[in-house]
Amino acid sequence: MTPSDIEAELKKIAALAQLETLPRFRSKPSVDDKAGTLAGKRFDPVTEADRQAEKAIRAHIEMVFPDHGFIGEETGSSNIDSEYCWIVDPVDGTRSFIAGLPSWGTLIGLLRNGEPIAGMMHQPFTGEFFISTGGLAWHEQAGNRDELVTSNTNSLDQAILMATAPEMFEHENLEAFTAVAQNVRLTRYGFDCYAYCMLAAGHIELVVEADLSPYDILPLVPLIENAGGIVTNWRGHRDLYGGRVIAAANVELHQQAIEIITFSSKR
């Protein structure tokens, strides 16, 4: 597959997912839903969006690439020893989704022999794509493309740090995150995958998170790296399968943050 083949597939997949997610975003219970709720079935548009979008994506990939692997949040894994493997989180940021906030996204990544080679974040409410393939990374909205380039701020006290929510950290993870937060210019919460995209786009400098799943982070790795950033686990290793993740705009910031995390864990 060429990079432009991959780009075309990523966008087809985003379009199919959007048909299932966007109509359910900010939806209210209908009379039927209310009757269902009374009968004990909870009105749950985000779970429906997640499930139906993944079903649509999986059906498309199985049809077009019957020999490719698939790792999904909802439907599990199949064929993961194939050369190519797709990894999908149809709605990353389900809590944002249920609160009506346009900070969730559809994540799709492509692994080749286990290595992330392409990825996309699509936010259908704002119409934004963050795409990486063929060694390039760009933002696209209403047909306009802008290259993603990370910030060259290389001093931690000038950096903006983000994480999805303070509640994602417990015990020693909380201590390490707090130690990093005490050394940056500004900490913001609440943006899920969108935060990694803002890092790739050069607007923020650090994302430090815990308890991620592989499909939460692997689709974002090519975006971050091809924009000039670095993403590893908290020990600084690139063998990323979720868990504790740090993304930084550049090597200097990454090193400064890792030192603080390491020191915090030794206390």
- Restricted to residues 149-168, the positions that interact with a second copy (CB under 8 A) are 160, 162, 165-167
Ranges of H-type helices in the chain: 3-21, 31-38, 45-64, 94-98, 171-181, 192-200, 214-217, 221-226, 251-266
Q: Which of 162, 138, 202, 94 is nearest to 4 (CA)?
A: 138
The residue among 100 and 135 lying less far from a second copy, judged by its C-beta, is 100
Among 11, 55, 60, 95, binds a second copy (CB under 8 A): 95
The residue among 5 and 146 lying less far from a second copy, judged by its C-beta, is 146
Q: Are 185 and 83 in contact (CB under 8 A)?
A: no
Q: Are 215 and 105 in contact (CB under 8 A)?
A: no
- Restricted to residues 182-211, the positions that interact with a second copy (CB under 8 A) are 186-191, 194, 198, 201-204
Which stretch, 97-105, 110-118, 130-138, 230-238, contacts a second copy (CB under 8 A)?
97-105
The residue among 76 and 127 lying less far from a second copy, judged by its C-beta, is 127
Instruction: Output the six-digit token pair for 128.
Output: 């934004």
Size of the site for a second copy (CB under 8 A): 29
55 touches a second copy (CB under 8 A): no
174 touches a second copy (CB under 8 A): no
Among 8, 19, 99, 251, binds a second copy (CB under 8 A): 99
Pairwise CA distance, residues 123 & 219, whole Å: 14
Among 22, 44, 125, 213, binds a second copy (CB under 8 A): 125
The residue among 1 and 168 lying less far from a second copy, judged by its C-beta, is 168
**Starting at the edge strand that comes first in sequence, how are the strands of the sheet with 186-189 ordered?**
186-189, 160-163, 206-212, 243-248, 230-233
96 touches a second copy (CB under 8 A): yes
Half-sphere exposure of 18 (CA within 13 A, CB side): 15
Q: What angle do CA 170, 260, 249 make, to 5 degrees?
A: 100
* Residue 107 amino acid letter: L
140 touches a second copy (CB under 8 A): no
60 touches a second copy (CB under 8 A): no
Minimum distance from residue 189 beta carbon to a second copy (Å): 4
Which stretch, 67-75, 181-189, 211-219, 258-266, contacts a second copy (CB under 8 A)?
181-189
Strand extents, DSSP E, 104-205: 105-112, 115-123, 128-133, 136-141, 144-147, 160-163, 186-189
Residues engaged in binding a second copy (CB under 8 A):
26, 28, 95-96, 98-103, 125-126, 160, 162, 165-167, 186-191, 194, 198, 201-204
